[in-house]
Amino acid sequence: MSPKSALLRGAAVVTAAGALIGMAAAPAVAKPHHDEPTVIAHRGASGYLPEHTLEAYALAVELGADVIEPDLVLTKDGELLARHEPVLDETTDVAAHPEFAERKTTKLIDGKPVTGFFADDFTLAELKTLRAEERLPTLRPDSAAHDGEFELVTYDEVLDYVGTLGRKVITYPEMKHPSYYEDKGMSIEDALADLLEERKLDRRWSPVWVQSFEYESLLTIDERIDNPVGLNIDGQGEIPDATLDEYAETLDTISLNKNRIFPRAADGSISKPTDIVERAHERGLDVHVWTFRAENSFLPANLRSSTNPAEWGDIEAEFELFYDLGVDAVFSDFPDLAVAARD
């Protein structure tokens, strides 16, 4: 994309995102804030618009997010596509394209068979004919109303857009399923490192952080770039001191499932916090937390407003619990709510 076209596209997206704010769920526009804790827009403003679209990222920026998070997968021709997983079925209209019907197949991801349409079986030009769809249409009908409107975007295009902004916004790409690509003879680590090097964004203080659920993948890319790197850790339960010691020697951040910090009790309610934040900070590790969502379906039982899974509960109280513990950053589908609770 040329600098001129990037500027025009960026201006158009910002204008469109601003117009869509009123349609989404009347989120309050917030001024950017760069003190801790940092607010990371999880897949963009994905509570309001279909995830991983330029429009969702632009809305997140307008709502005051400090960081936008593009998950990355590889296309057939080696481009970095902003999607949450290699399979396209849940978040695009690929099934409505008869010209691609024969591309449906079954592959192994993390050792499990998955059937669907895979991004790595499509060239970027083919993927550009698809349109994004809301992953959770029952919970987020306002976002689903925009199904079919927004094209799929590459990380290159996201960086073009961020370059047009009048303030610093960090991108936090997550390399999805590196082992899957390694088994196919592809390297998502090299693809990302190549792009960051080309753009001179591979330096320590560049506005790019890198993350993955695969520790070895982070060690691999860390050999080529100087950006901060962070390991995503799912589930709940204690992380031993020896493990934290190793992470402190090799990583900058651990990014934790909320249940690692405030475990869920047997009845689904939030319980007393663990000491993981304190122990990580003692070792110089930042602690990021995911994922904060407003709907009752995702909240602890004692913070829900009703039995309606789509209704919003007391997410402000949940934010405050984590902020009070001193976490360094939060991932949220609703960046405006994270900003409002912090400020």
Q: What is the predicted pLDDT for the residue at 30?
A: 40
pLDDT bucket at 4, cuts 50 / 70 / 90: very low
Predicted confidence (pLDDT) at residue 6 exceeds the cutoff of 60: no
Query: What mean pLDDT is reported for the chain?
Result: 92
Q: Across-strand partners of 154?
A: 81
Size (the chain), residues: 343
For residue 218, is it within any domain?
Answer: yes
Q: For residue 33, indicate whether it is catalytic.
A: no
Q: What is the pLDDT of residue 36?
A: 82
Give the residue numbers spanning the domain of 80: 3-85+152-342
Q: Phi and psi dihedrals of 69, rounded to 5?
A: -115, 100
Q: Read off the pLDDT of residues 215-261 as tens digits, 9 standing for 90 and up.
A: 999 999 999 999 999 999 999 899 999 999 999 999 999 999 999 99
DSSP-derived secondary structure letter, 108: E
In a domain, 130, yes or no: no
- Does the residue 99 lie in any domain? no
Question: Cβ-count burial of 280 within 10 angstroms (0-12 exposed, 13-18 middle, 19+ buried)?
Answer: buried
Per-residue pLDDT tens for 202-223? 999 999 999 999 999 999 999 9
Please tell me the predicted confidence (pLDDT) of residue 146. 98
User: Does 14 score more than 90 pLDDT?
Assistant: no
Distance CA 186, CA 172 (A): 21
Would you place residue 40 in the very low, low, confident or very high pLDDT band (cuts 50, 70, 90)? Answer: very high
| CATH code: domain of residue 249 | 3.20.20.190
Q: Indicate whether 25 pLDDT > 70.
A: no
What is the pLDDT, as a whole number, of residue 35?
55
Model pLDDT for residues 92-132, shown as the tens digit of each residue: 999 999 999 999 999 999 999 999 999 999 999 999 999 99
Mean pLDDT within 174-193: 97
The predicted pLDDT at position 116 comes to 98
Quick check: is 168 in a domain? yes
What distance in Å separates the CA atoms of residue 326 and residue 18, rounded to the nearest whole number?
32
Whether 182 shows a pLDDT value over 70: the answer reads yes
Q: Does residue 127 form part of some domain?
A: no
Task: Write down the pLDDT at residue 312.
Answer: 98
177 carries an active-site annotation: no
Q: What is the mean pLDDT of residues 278-307?
A: 98
* 3-state secondary structure at position 231: strand
Residue 302 lies in a domain: yes
SS3 257: strand
Question: How many whole angstroms separate alpha carbon 333 and alpha carbon 139?
Answer: 13
**Distance from C-alpha of 226 to C-alpha of 185, rounded to nearest angstrom:** 25
Residue 34 in this model has a pLDDT that exceeds 80: no
| Residue 15: per-residue pLDDT | 43
Give which of 231, 306, 295, 304 is closest to 264, Cα–Cα.
304
Other beta carbons within 10 Å of 204: 9
What average pLDDT does this structure show over 9-24? Answer: 46
In a domain, 144, yes or no: no
Domain count, the chain: 1
Domain annotation covers residue 43: yes
10 pLDDT higher than 80: no
Return d(Cα 21, Cα 57) in angstroms, integer: 12
Active-site annotation holder among 33, 34, 52, 84 = 84
Q: What percent of the chain has pLDDT over 70?
A: 90
Catalytic residue among 33, 34, 42, 281: 42
